[in-house]
Amino acid sequence: MMRIPPVLQVAFWAFIAWGLARLFPDLEWDWPGQDVTAAVLSISAVVIAIAGIVQFHRHKTTVSPVALEQASTIVTDGIYRYTRNPMYLGMALLLTGWVIKLGNPLGALTIIGFVLVMTAIQIVPEERVLAQKFGAAHTDYLQKTRRWI
């Protein structure tokens, strides 16, 4: 099954959020601290995603979501103690920061869409491959650590 690269997924949903904000400008809302909140979420998103990448590099395993056969280990330490998908979580938080910056509540639909689609077409298939490759160790990790947060 050909999956759409996660970076393109988040870009697609960010574009949809932008489009919704332009199509429905009357729904726009501004509130004190909006830009700061968007910036803090976006910075947090990048830090979380980078923490995931760093852990993969420390364990010398692939970060490529399309090259799972090259995975050499299950990473369960660092940020991976708290979330099984810090890179995807980072993307979702980055999208959330963008939606807040745009100031249109319809943008929340894109966050939901991103999470649902990423779970269905990316994460679940990844989990199947990793379960086949790593067996009980992967199953134990799934039981101990949440998929998103």
What's the rounded Cα separation, in Å, for the pair 121 and 124?
7
pLDDT digits (tens, 9 = 90+) for 117-140: 999 999 999 999 999 999 999 999
Split at pLDDT 50, 70, 90, the class of 66 is confident
What's the rounded Cα separation, in Å, for the pair 122 and 26?
35
Percentage of residues of the chain with pLDDT beyond 70: 99
Residue written as token pair 């779970």 = 119
What's the rounded Cα separation, in Å, for the pair 47 and 102?
22
Residue 69, burial from CB neighbour count under 10 angstroms (0-12, 13-18, 19+)? exposed
* Predicted local confidence at residue 22, as pLDDT: 98
What's the rounded Cα separation, in Å, for the pair 116 and 88?
12
Residue written as token pair 């199947």 = 128
Q: How far is CA 117 from the centre of its chain?
A: 11
Residue 2 has pLDDT above 90, yes or no: no
List the domain boundaries for the chain.
8-20+33-62+73-144
Q: How far is CA 31 from the centre of its chain?
A: 26
What's the rounded Cα separation, in Å, for the pair 61 and 126?
14
Average pLDDT of 42-67?
Answer: 92
Amino acid (1-letter code) at residue 48: I
Q: How far is CA 67 from the centre of its chain?
A: 18
pTM as predicted: 0.94
pLDDT digits (tens, 9 = 90+) for 106-115: 999 999 999 9
* Predicted local confidence at residue 133, as pLDDT: 92
